[in-house]
A = this chain, B = another copy of it.
């Protein structure tokens, strides 16, 4: 089975060019100068079964969302997208790989957590998937498990939390030990960088004062405490002999400053941001009247529009102080889920759903002149692959790589909303947003799974990816 994507403008991390992409089975087998394609493939051995005309369109590597939480249990409920619904929505949006988070909680065996997540995902996914491992209970066994997961399981990144005391929280000693272990086995430490101990004081004080609306979720998580935790994680990684460190869902300018400073010093410190921080704000969304703001309760929180966060985050994406855009997809419906926090913002499940819209939302930055085409592809596909040990299997349009492709139409339009999205959510965080571009055809390992808005994929076709070590270290 061969597929030829003809005449598109292939966008790579260093530039664009018109080229044909020849797919054989699940792999890209050749990238060809269009002038010679007909000659080269005019061999009896090659049968091009299908030709996709991509002229006037961008051909990019399939998106990689390095941060999702399908079916995550949280606060007595669970994220509303299953691996089935969530990866199907991802596919619609041009994302052909997700890296989800398996979870170990205090007292649990790490491998058991991993097994549980495999059980949830197995046979359910529409696109390929991999796992990071959340360590909620770093102890001697967990440290040993880190080695085993790196060596045997294709799990090469571990997320720790400086927030959520009593749930996921690690103290600085646990963090240091995990970092030392990662420094030895080559893994990446991912960090939820917020000072949860101090935040919980602010939360309790707010509740005690009757400040229970969703906006107080943001007000009690000040940027200073994101920056502080970011600085602390960087310092601990330094003490751990420059253990590679990746800050997740960075939202505040002040935290970006810390990352930028470490990078300026040549440290292996990286960060992602998410579309919500690039477009939404504390006042306009989280501060919506009544309980409406609950839709946008996530941590780190949306930041104030009266400060320069969004301008700085876009700048960071341009100059690679921010390496990646992930979604932190963690959807909860308003009904029965977000509503758990009626009258007490601290009980609202934390999370925003967006796995379907990332490729579009970052592309809008290109349209708006905030990002180059090259950085669009880098931040949504190439760098996630390099960062998390999937390159060159994923993240690039080159022979030998998986044939994960998106044909993206710069002349199309995408209107985001609950009426049209495919995520299992009763609302959209981006309701009414219009993107001046459109995901056309989506190819996953050589198979057209989305074409012109029609779905041709199926549950279970997505495979688990064992990842290697990061190839993005300096």
Contacts and interface: CB of A to CB of B under 8 A. Distances in A.
A193 to B, nearest CB: 12
A6 B76 CA distance: 58
Nearest to A401: B17
Interface residues of A, number: 73
B40 A36 contact: no
Given A17-B400, A29-B33, A266-B319, A228 B225 contact: no
Contacts of A396: 14-15
Interface string A14-34: 111111001010011111110
Contacts of A172: 195, 197-198
Nearest to A395: B14
A159 interface: no
Interface stretch (A235-243, A290-298, A432-440, A453-461): A235-243
Contacts of A175: 198
A13 interface: yes
Interface stretch (A42-50, A98-106, A347-355, A422-430): A42-50
Given A45-B39, A46-B40, A239-B202, A398 B227 contact: no
Nearest to A231: B231
A228 B216 CA distance: 28
Contact of A31 (B13, B15, B391, B399): B399
Q: How often does this chain occur in the complex, in copies?
A: 4
A350 B42 CA distance: 57
Contacts of A398: 12, 17, 19, 31
A198 B170 CA distance: 12
Contacts of A395: 14
A24 B43 contact: no
Interface in A390-442: 391-392, 395-396, 398-401
A396 B474 CA distance: 21
Given A228-B232, A239-B224, A318-B266, A40 B33 contact: no
Interface of A: 12-19, 22, 24, 27-33, 35-36, 39-43, 45-46, 171-173, 175-177, 195, 197-198, 200-202, 222, 224-225, 227-228, 231-232, 235-236, 238-239, 260, 263-266, 315, 318-321, 372, 382, 386, 391-392, 395-396, 398-401, 471, 473-474
